Structure 1
């Protein structure tokens, strides 16, 4: 496996995040949270189309053709690409004006899981929610400080979740039929000197890949033994998330941020905020869409 990623797009994003590979369309959705931008990247055409919004956008998943579900500053929204129409679905934290949604993904049943956090990252201000396909939204975990990476094991028995300040990947027992979870243990513990765990994905072997904020890397872990298996160096200090994509799902797309860096950091990591990619020796799993799979 290559241990260094290549720059795909020098986008200089303030807070690049939330990569989602649409295996049906062979395109990558990703966002710049602070820039309030949704990016649609087509590797085949080497094209990156950007849509500007007027509020933070943190996660994106496809729904039906031409329609996306977005996690944003003021709640969950449905977005029609062709009509450029944004429709609010709900905001379970209408009363928490200093909170915003952060990372989010869909499970195998098509439910969208997305968590919240305080705009300044204050402790224990957020929660993790599950937005089911029937329109119901359920608070699943609370309190959470910075709700971040989420993934499910290939056998659908476990859910992995990152609350960044804990420096851990927590493992939960997961019931696919109900969406219920119960705490199981620690899947990985990130040493402080390696930075803080941010976004995450999982490969077909059930190993988790974690982006390191402040650590300039992505790491691969065995969540059953909590053993570190591999690291990939990124030419950006604040690495935010990753997902498998490409024709064979063996390319890891990696988002990064310029936010939180001083002049010395930016001089050392001038490509910070860019979109990166690395070829891997393992394959990922197709990302789930919202609604029927």
Structure 2
């Protein structure tokens, strides 16, 4: 069956990102970073509910104890969409007012990872990846990154992927991952996206261990083998896809978010910034773990 791409939530978000599928509530959660909005898409009803967080939101994860864990402009938070209640956890970059959190996600043990980036003024390599453990302690891992992105884990949880989207770098790395301690090993080059039109944005993995990259500015998604080889390219109807995530009852729908700002030809992509779904790929994803804290 040929793959079909459908716009399922025509929000025209400024910066759609952070897609994560929750296997418990069977919903696709995602964000509009600049709009400070958290969206929740139900593929059964087709509804897309929106919750205003009050500041830029980089990434989110569902929480075992209910609600969401959020990595936002002012650090880590708990958020209850039903009531709007916010509870601060930690702000590891309170000394960097021009920075905010960007991409992230959970490992198989329920730890929440998220990276930062400079969001105001001239870009600088001041981004850092942080690990939020279930006991709510925060550990900084790797700094010196322009635009933290692409965080994902292999199906067995023993390999971690991340990228730097900045045009100066546009590279994806992988590293061994100690599942007992949540400690990554030394990063190794996984894929240099100068080989394809799109720079690396958000990423996810499928059940076969392949890494999917949203090729921002390239009108494409890329499926990379565990060896870092492009084995499939999917053309999409928007210039700036931002984050792929498998979902649906059987984890066989590939959703992706997108961006509506700074387009080279906005008239040709009226649905840019919206949420899309790809069916008919014949590929399944990996269940995402809820934050254990």
What TM bracket, shorter-length normalisation?
A: over 0.9
Asked if residue 261 in structure 1 is aligned to residue 269 in structure 2, the reply is no
Asked if residue 215 in structure 1 is aligned to residue 248 in structure 2, the reply is no
**Contact persistence 2:115–2:130 (CA under 8 A):** yes
Asked if residue 107 in structure 1 is aligned to residue 97 in structure 2, the reply is no
**Contact persistence 1:66–1:81 (CA under 8 A):** no
Counterpart in the other structure of 1:271: 271
Q: Distance in 1 between matches of 2:3 and 2:203?
A: 17
Q: Distance in 1 between matches of 2:187 and 2:107?
A: 18
TM-score under structure 1 length normalisation: 0.95
Asked if residue 199 in structure 1 is aligned to residue 202 in structure 2, the reply is yes
Counterpart in the other structure of 1:144: 145
Counterpart in the other structure of 2:189: 186
**Contact persistence 1:4–1:233 (CA under 8 A):** no
Unaligned 5+ runs, structure 1: none
C-alpha RMSD of the superposition = 1.5
Deviation at 1:192, TM superposition (A): 5.9
Asked if residue 93 in structure 1 is aligned to residue 96 in structure 2, the reply is no
Q: Distance in 1 between matches of 2:270 and 2:244?
A: 20
User: Bigger CA drift: 56-65 or 38-47?
Assistant: 56-65
Q: Distance in 1 between matches of 2:272 and 2:39?
A: 17
Deviation at 1:173, TM superposition (A): 1.2
TM-score under structure 2 length normalisation: 0.95
Q: Distance in 2 between matches of 1:208 and 1:193?
A: 15
Asked if residue 235 in structure 1 is aligned to residue 237 in structure 2, the reply is yes
Counterpart in the other structure of 1:7: 7
Deviation at 1:272, TM superposition (A): 0.6
Q: Distance in 1 between matches of 2:90 and 2:15?
A: 24
Deviation at 1:109, TM superposition (A): 1.2
Q: Distance in 1 between matches of 2:196 and 2:288?
A: 31
Q: Alignment length, in residue pairs?
A: 289
User: Bigger CA drift: 277-286 or 240-249?
Assistant: 277-286
CA gap 1:2/1:75 in 2 versus in 1, 3 angstroms: farther
**Contact persistence 2:198–2:214 (CA under 8 A):** no
Counterpart in the other structure of 1:81: 81
**Contact persistence 1:3–1:232 (CA under 8 A):** no
Write out the 4+ residue segments of structure 1 that deviate beyond 3 Å after TM superposition: 1-4
TM-superposition CA deviations, 1:212-231 (whole Å, max 9, x none): 1101111100132x210111
**Contact persistence 2:51–2:81 (CA under 8 A):** no
Deviation at 1:64, TM superposition (A): 2.7
User: Bigger CA drift: 215-224 or 92-101?
Assistant: 215-224
Q: Distance in 2 between matches of 1:109 and 1:158?
A: 13
Unaligned 5+ runs, structure 2: none
**Contact persistence 1:187–1:222 (CA under 8 A):** no
Counterpart in the other structure of 1:251: 253
**Contact persistence 2:127–2:144 (CA under 8 A):** yes
Q: Distance in 1 between matches of 2:42 and 2:129?
A: 31
User: Bigger CA drift: 5-14 or 245-254?
Assistant: 5-14
